[in-house]
A = this chain, B = another copy of it.
Amino acid sequence: MNKIVSIEEAVTHIRDGMTVMVGGFLGCGSPHKLIDALVEKGVKDLTLICNDTAFPDAGVGKMVVNKQFKKIITSHIGTNPETGRQMNEKETEVNLVPQGSLAEKIRAGGAGLGGILTPTGVGTEVEEGKEKMVLDGKTYLLELPLKADVALIFGHKVDTKGNILYQGAERNFNPLMATAADIVIVEAEQTVAVGELDPNEVMTPGIFVNYIVGGDK
């Protein structure tokens, strides 16, 4: 199975109306080349799941400026005023989720869980519309799983089977999203041959990865 594809072929898997997860935290650890290709392609009406909307001129924020999302599920939009503007003018639906709950919702999607109970958000606007449970006298919110049609992630070293090593703080949401989408596309900083990664140091097993782009440096 050859998983290595061109960036042009990779983006054919993202079509109008799909739900897309994008790794990264303020752009650190985001698949920037894939994002640029999607801006170029102009695919639209997407639902975005991402930690934040980065900056107007960087990361997934470029796609916000290009008005490619109909809905955004995220923990933070403060660094991208365009997201706030689209939200306030009701051009884009923005669903704000506490960062830890967002991580668990994505993980639950990947792990086949029906949901998780978290104390985060109890007594705040976050609890609106969510089931509450009291266990041992403590109140929890039921947070439901998130899945996507496609996850776009970034890896530091990727072997041709799709095994991934992340570097530093670029890891963030990437390993979680790799488990929670029907199609997983990893943008590799560096592609290496099978056998070059120690099985102990692999952070995302290649079984999760469908396509690999880049890494030809």
Q: Which A residues form the contact surface with B (CB < 8 A)?
A: 104, 108, 111-119, 133, 135, 138, 140, 142, 144, 165-168, 199-201
Chain B residues closer than 8 Å to A167, beta-carbon distance: 200
CA distance A138 to B115 in the complex (A): 12
**Can you name 26 A-B residue pairings with CB atoms under 8 Å?**
A104-B111, A104-B113, A108-B116, A112-B118, A112-B119, A113-B116, A113-B117, A113-B140, A114-B117, A114-B118, A114-B119, A114-B133, A114-B135, A114-B140, A115-B117, A115-B133, A115-B135, A115-B140, A116-B116, A116-B117, A135-B144, A165-B200, A166-B200, A167-B200, A168-B199, A201-B201
How many copies the complex holds: the figure is 2
CA distance A165 to B198 in the complex (A): 13
The winner among A112, A114, A201 for most chain B CB atoms within 10 A is A114
Name the distance in Å between A16's Cβ and chain B's nearest Cβ.
25
Chain B residues closer than 8 Å to A111, beta-carbon distance: 104
Judge whether B114 and A138 touch: CB under 8 Å. yes
Chain B residues closer than 8 Å to A165, beta-carbon distance: 200
CA distance A168 to B198 in the complex (A): 10
CA distance A114 to B119 in the complex (A): 7
Name the distance in Å between A128's Cβ and chain B's nearest Cβ.
18
Chain B residues closer than 8 Å to A133, beta-carbon distance: 114-115
Name the distance in Å between A175's Cβ and chain B's nearest Cβ.
13
CA distance A169 to B191 in the complex (A): 26
CA distance A201 to B199 in the complex (A): 12
Name the distance in Å between A201's Cβ and chain B's nearest Cβ.
6
CA distance A142 to B115 in the complex (A): 9
CA distance A104 to B113 in the complex (A): 10
Chain B residues closer than 8 Å to A144, beta-carbon distance: 135
**Nearest chain-B residue to A112 (Cβ)?**
B119
Judge whether A116 and B119 touch: CB under 8 Å. no
Given A104-B113, A114-B140, A117-B142; 7 other pairs, CB 8 A cutoff: A112-B118, A113-B117, A115-B133, A115-B135, A115-B140, A165-B200, A168-B199
